[in-house]
Structure 1
């Protein structure tokens, strides 16, 4: 079986089964103890109690050990306790108990008696409403034996529940506040609210005063009644250029958020750029045991896989004392480094060394601005390497006291398979000085968005640094700073529970029981705030999530093919009805395309197919004629001639990426006939007219193209994005007010027109103008009309939901699972889908 045959058969099975199913979400662990540490110092005890053998807390004779465990902010609490016993007599017992009133009364969860006292561990759990949202909850092990020769062993305790329950009182405030750009000498005022989502009055004892150039002007928050808000007014008054950060502390009687920190940020400049961009305020006193100065300077072997924390910007990092501007060249890539394989569905590699196990040649230019560093080349960069191409992302630069005057750099990067869309993310790290001195470069890859090939790569390579000045450096720096400052404000997904009390965060972070380890990125966007998660790797959390690259796969059928055709329809009415054969010579030879329109191709309803079964044609081995060849002539010849006429155009949906490739070719020819031969649907329509006004990153300005003089955009796959790009592109569709796309076709694509639902590839699903949609009325039952959720979908586990409440939810995973109903239902609870 070929690579593409296998991968699309996997997609067919995975999409069909997992789009329709959803599993229960997982509870949060509030407290867990198995006594393996041998430390019981936090337990209050009475009688003879000690830690026993690093496996239990031991009670001898009449004794007890109890511990307070607040469940404030949590609901559906469950307490699980286990214990064992030894040498009990009749009428002597060991108990595992809980109290909901700080120890006044106790409820038994598990009892062990004489006859059960042979060391066997007995476990039980209990869930009662009085455990929920309770700051006075306690757990206890107790024995009532008569002598110290009677033993009770508390083996473990776990308290779990669903986060997001309102406390009483319950503070509701932002975690960060950003001031708009301000010129030095001027000031800007900003007001934010502190709310009380609880059922009792919130007492705010203090709102701290931040340091200059920030100031607290006023606040009226001494007492906040349930369901109301107070106001905090701040001022930003910079006298010099720079990026400024501070925070204020809100102190209150909220039982689980009694001290709430609000981060403040502001940017000040005259020219639009800042010399000291994003300053670091640490002392440089960074404790380091991995990737130390000595290891980077003197390394002679590839080292070992590390937790990605070794590559991260440390909390106490200082501003760099050196400035990188020039060319970084790695040496020995073809033979250096180590490789470990986790999954290889198509048997790319064996026990022998191959080029796929090593990095491509690396020789690229970077420019530093403040504590940031960015590549001058973005996108997937073609090279002579037979398997890999680099994608370069922005990174960070800082100073550590132990680096002997060198500055330390972390450069996020990715490897993308040539002529394919899989992305494998990694980080480079090295030391450098202004005079060109440079250490070894350590690198590590331990995650990917790729269903069929999953590997680790790591090593330490020799390198050279050539300092260079660039004529357009100021323009490049200004563009990069604008990119960073133009990103949507972010909060962690966990903040949803504070911003929207009662929200089940795991419905977003692990919908349907998805393993977070399989999710490269996950996010939810509402009210202009980007709630982010994901970035798990096999070696800890990826440290530069804002720079992590993900592939689009077939989400490009919506974001590229759908967007461009709806844009052409807005500019040139009738574009949807243009005949394919008028614009694609290869499709004009057999007569099967003369009555197929652009719109039919976008819907994958050309009437030309072999098998109408779900994904049957796409999973066949002959699709290698589209996916594996590298030139346009071969791809378009396959696409136009592979299938015979079986149905009238517009009547039968059959999944064909080849149809979208034909559409891209036709749209390119059509655009050139209208606007000139040099025009290109990606560069001049998608990028210039749609994406750039959204202030997306240069990374999203890339598309896979054929490796020939035609350089035809693939159109149906081959885009790459950063998380901010996903949020902005999704918001573009979610917002109903944008006017770039033809409104009739856009409303049809997003299921806003009940008279034009599109074709039905599966029960409860529609496909229209390049977008999937699902009727979710079985799960959301309180709307007068059936609610539909339109979405973009990509191979391996990529989902982007354009939710009908003007919010957005997405994940990029590689577990071949497409479950998202939990997230949709929870988003409806935050804000109704009902129209």
Structure 2
């Protein structure tokens, strides 16, 4: 069996600060189930509680509620669950949906062995969405019980800018370019504020850099609108070339910004070796609904399945500005709660409800080198590990840049998990 997945990372990521979280929704059930849609055997209980009343489910009873998340990010869901008298086929489930209830994902469950009546506390990071449906349900007999207490959804208010705000990369790095040849790069400018951004004429002259296209000078950018400057680097001698473009606008916080241009002229001594193998010519304008820059730089876990297309090289991917080389290590992926698979189906209950090595990827620490836009593992193919059940298969990935990544470069590394062959003993 081979499990295919991708590892996505940001090279030279930036630091971010967490905003103070607000309570979006809270319910301790002391006032009943009025905030919930009730189905089956579901009511309140005063015997097994943390305080006051708890929600009480049995058989196929369930409660669910929809919560608006508009205007919030860094969403966290917290709750406590307890159970009593569960048997092998009995469970208490916590689930959520981000698509209006069309699909539900399991957050946690309690089963046989976790049914002493003690409460377990759970906390989950939830991906950004307009709404969240939280559901608790029982899958028990008539004498088996599930209890829920203290449901809370919190998040950080998304800040808004009420003036024009210019967004442009601080550096445009052309890397090494062979003398006598040229390389063109795109420099987009975006208004991330709420008022019109007025850009003044851009005057620029340089011996090695040329603006070959400019849709930004004297332009007016509405909210979220963009323009573009195309810059060409054509070195005539070897060595480094540095310059800067000055952009003036009516942004009250940054009325004058400078974009640094850097590049190196190099002699052509490749003898067939292509330093910039398969360069990218896209604009960097990528509309991304999954794995955004903010998500990849957040401390929140990605708790929902991601479409594999989100890891693929976009058609408008731009040439990366950073070179990734060295050892990539994931810290303690075999530790409980880290690097853990979401269990979708386990017909023979190999893993059970508790933590299990089968639910974790092996230790990950591999060397990579970059050639042009390709990220190459030093050891390709099957890499033997000390893990009890899995081996890695590593293959080359790609590196690129997107305009909404705050000047960072983005990389995707494909890998597969191969199940180890069990030892078979025979007798003569």
TM-score of the two chains, using structure 1 as the length reference: 0.18
Please identify the structure whose Cα radius of gyration is greater.
1
Tell me which of the two structures has the higher relative contact order, counting C-alpha pairs closer than 8 angstroms and 6 or more residues apart.
Answer: 2
The structure with the largest helix share of the pair is 1
TM-score of the two chains, using structure 2 as the length reference: 0.35
